[in-house]
């Protein structure tokens, strides 16, 4: 089909991805051959639907016959064959059965003949051409029943194949179904319904309970639980309140929301996911590229072999006067070879598995950029994790306050930190606010980079500093010094409060490890991951404590971005393929250096979705073990499909050369095995 479209005047290049049902082509806008291409495609019996606004308008409505002609013709062919066979059994004249078989050939080949003609005009030898030659040849040597049966089985196989592949193509339509056709927008004080494409940035959406959010935005008024399954794959609704982000396609399950639009319809997270899934399905994995190259070489070789078998032995027997079988018998063997020669099952063996796996991953909240990355995932044996925001929540929080006067201590500490923008400072202030402690006026505030802060509060010189600096300027004695050491060994960042150099106690802040991290690491190790390591810029003591809590094998501390890429290279030398898990922004060099870069928490993050090979849409690691398992199952599935396709085809090929194969066996070796391969690939759609 791609070559036929490429031959249309004004078309520069064309490509067909049959697994996703997409035809893409480049063309000269001055010629605009889109209607010609659509006519050509419809002429082969395929339906045509424009994809998006660039497709050139709506497709004309189809009649009942256009929608069902393949099914009707196939059913008629089968009925004619059954009637012809029955009449032969009861002793009717042979001519009657022959006429019925001839009519069955015409009906069953209704679509095949048309597609064969289009391929011949494009100077291509595809399965339709080869099947047409085989059936005509069978009729020429008097094998009317076998010719009719072959064309019927071929039509039936194509019909079942198209129905099976439709399951994989449905994934995009399922995602599109989550996009509301209308958005409820507040304009001039009134609520109006408009298409999402007409909504502008900053406008306010009204989302009622039971409605889907039309565009990405931030909740301005209201609170509700939203089902974000189309985006994150998480089936449990997530509670959202004012200031929280919401995504297009999310279902509002309870409260009334007012949402400020932050992205246009074309730029929504759901739109980006749909685009990337389509792009990934169209991209060819290395295994598929290898199969395609093999098929281009294999088909012409077998065709010429068939020509040789049909002509050389009979001619040689005629010249030598030998009895090597009749011309009809050698022609029959050649026809069997022709049916075998088109590698349909082999060609479809890889893309059906890849598309099914990408679809399964997207349903689980994992966005895979292409089949190649599934193949890499199957090879990964070492995984490097960023710390902040990946193994931890990325939000420092106060976990311990050690002071005799808790209230006074927090009031002084929060008063100092209220003047700083450091993440640790915000954690201290937030903790004081939760406890209802008010801050006090300060003067002479000073920020000491890498050490802490200080100021005058009620004529007292108060400082909140690191333990090392506190030891330099204050009198930190036992048992306080030992307690500080224990807190640091537990992976906490400690700040000591000094009043005129006298320690009043300390406050410990930590970025807590995700509760699911240890379980994920156990699952990854069970799945065959040999090495799990954390890469961080933190000190060794903190890194070791967090790595132990998260269940990792190793931690590497005090690493700059360049050091992380070096660490990735070292892991690759020791373990082979390496995956890097990070946030897609700060860890960009390491993500790029790894064989597989995985960004997590990518929902709504343009950078993460665009830069990573794989994106975990949810802000947790729980989907990782399933993704790597899916990668291994995909590669195993492809190997099974390719092996079955080659073994069966070669077996029938050998039988055909020695005259032991029939046309029916040849159809099974191609169409029958193709159906088995599709069914095997579709198993990847199931959740495991």
Residue numbers annotated as active site: 386
Closest CA to 452 of 513, 392, 503: 503
Question: CA 354 to CA 281: how far, in whole Å?
Answer: 7
Burial tier of 652 (Cβ tally within 10 Å: 0-12, 13-18, 19+): buried
What is the Cα 569 distance to its own chain's centre?
Answer: 26
* DSSP assignment letter at 442: -
Parallel/antiparallel/unpaired status of strands 531-535 and 217-221: unpaired
What residue has token string 């709506």?
Answer: 58
Neighbours of 85 (CB within 10 A): 15
Question: Quick one: angle between helices 327-341 and 127-140, nearest 10?
Answer: 160
Q: Where are the beta strands (DSSP E) in 601-642?
A: 614-616
Question: CA 609 to CA 601: how far, in whole Å?
Answer: 10
Give me 137's structure tokens.
């040849």
b or e along 12-51 (b: 16 or more beta carbons within 10 Å of the residue's beta carbon)? eebebbbbbbebebebeeeeebbebbbebbbebbbebeee
DSSP string, 210-255: TPBP-S-EEEEE--EEEE-HHHH---S-EEE-TT-EE-TT-EE-SS
Give me 616's structure tokens.
């975990």
Instruction: Determine contact, residues 667/649, Cβ cutoff 8 Å.
Output: no
> Using alpha carbons only, how large is the chain's radius of gyration in Å?
34
Straight-line distance from the first to the last Cα atom of the chain, in angstroms, rounded to the nearest whole number: 36
Closest CA to 597 of 605, 405, 606, 583: 583
Give me 384's structure tokens.
């490097």
Instruction: Determine contact, residues 111/64, Cβ cutoff 8 Å.
Output: no
Helix (H) or strand (E) segment spanning residue 138: helix 127-140
Question: CA 605 to CA 250: how far, in whole Å?
Answer: 16
Give me 9's structure tokens.
């005047």
């Amino acid at each position: 089909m791609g070559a036929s479209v490429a031959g249309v005047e004004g078309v520069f290049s064309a490509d067909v991805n049959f697994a996703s049902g997409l035809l893409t082509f480049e063309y000269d806008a001055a010629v605009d051959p889109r209607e010609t291409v659509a006519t050509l495609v419809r002429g082969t019996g395929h339906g045509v639907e424009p994809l998006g606004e660039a497709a050139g308008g709506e497709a004309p409505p189809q009649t009942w016959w256009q929608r069902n002609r393949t099914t009707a013709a196939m059913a008629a062919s089968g009925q004619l064959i059954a009637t012809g066979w029955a009449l032969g059994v009861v002793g009717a004249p042979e001519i009657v059965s022959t006429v019925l078989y001839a009519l069955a050939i015409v009906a069953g080949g209704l679509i095949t003949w048309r597609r064969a003609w289009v391929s011949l005009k494009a100077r291509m030898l595809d399965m339709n051409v080869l099947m047409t030659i085989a059936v005509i040849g069978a009729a020429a040597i008097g094998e009317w029943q076998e010719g009719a049966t072959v064309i019927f089985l071929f039509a039936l196989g194509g019909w079942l194949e198209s129905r099976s592949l439709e399951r994989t193509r449905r994934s995009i339509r399922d995602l599109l179904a989550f996009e509301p056709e209308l958005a409820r927008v507040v304009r001039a004080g009134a609520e109006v319904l408009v298409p999402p494409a007409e909504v502008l940035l900053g406008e306010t959406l009204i989302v009622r309970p039971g409605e889907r959010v039309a565009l990405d935005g931030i909740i301005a008024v209201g609170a509700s639980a939203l089902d974000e399954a189309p985006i994150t794959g998480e089936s449990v609704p997530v509670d959202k309140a004012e200031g929280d982000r919401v995504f297009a396609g999310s279902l509002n399950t309870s409260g009334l929301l007012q949402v400020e639009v932050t992205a246009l319809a074309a730029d929504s997270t759901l739109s980006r996911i749909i685009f990337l899934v389509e792009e990934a399905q169209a991209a060819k994995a290395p295994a598929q590229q290898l199969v395609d190259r093999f098929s281009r070489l294999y088909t012409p070789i077998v065709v010429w072999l068939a020509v040789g078998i049909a002509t050389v032995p009979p001619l040689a027997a005629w010249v030598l006067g030998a009895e090597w079988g009749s011309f009809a018998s050698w022609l029959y063997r050649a026809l069997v070879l022709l049916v075998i020669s088109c590698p349909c099952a082999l060609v479809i063996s890889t893309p059906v598995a890849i598309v099914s796996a990408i679809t399964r991953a997207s349903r689980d909240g994992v966005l895979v950029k292409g089949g190649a990355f599934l193949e890499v995932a199957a090879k990964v044996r070492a995984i490097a994790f960023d710390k902040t925001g990946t193994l931890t929540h990325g939000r420092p929080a106060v976990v311990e306050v050690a002071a005799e006067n808790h209230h006074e201590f927090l009031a002084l500490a929060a008063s100092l930190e209220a003047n700083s923008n450091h993440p640790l400072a915000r954690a201290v202030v937030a903790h004081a606010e939760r406890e209802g402690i008010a801050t006090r006026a300060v003067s002479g505030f000073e920020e000491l980079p890498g050490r802490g802060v200080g100021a005058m509060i009620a004529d007292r010189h108060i400082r909140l500093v690191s333990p090392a600096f506190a030891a330099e300027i204050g009198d930190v004695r036992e048992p306080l010094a030992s307690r500080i050491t224990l807190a640091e060994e537990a992976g906490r960042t400690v700040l000591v409060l000094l009043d005129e150099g006298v320690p009043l106690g300390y406050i410990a802040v930590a970025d807590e490890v995700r509760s699911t991290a240890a379980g994920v690491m156990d699952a990854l190790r069970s799945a065959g991951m040999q090495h799990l390591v954390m890469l961080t810029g933190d000190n060794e003591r903190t890194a070791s404590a967090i790595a132990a809590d998260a269940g990792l094998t190793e931690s590497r501390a005090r690493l700059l971005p360049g050091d992380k890429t070096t660490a990735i290279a070292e892991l690759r030398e020791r373990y082979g393929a390496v995956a890097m898990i990070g946030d897609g922004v700060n860890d960009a060099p390491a993500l790029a250096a790894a064989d597989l870069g995985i960004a997590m928490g990518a929902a709504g993050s343009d950078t993460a979705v665009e830069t990573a090979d794989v994106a975990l849409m949810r802000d947790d690691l729980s989907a990782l073990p399933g993704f790597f398992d899916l990668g291994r199952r995909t590669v195993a599935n492809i190997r099974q499909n390719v092996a079955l396709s080659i073994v069966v085809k070669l077996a029938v090929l050998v039988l055909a050369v020695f005259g032991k194969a029939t046309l029916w066996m040849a159809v099974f070796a191609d169409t029958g095995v193709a159906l088995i391969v599709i069914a095997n690939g579709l198993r990847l759609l199931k959740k495991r």
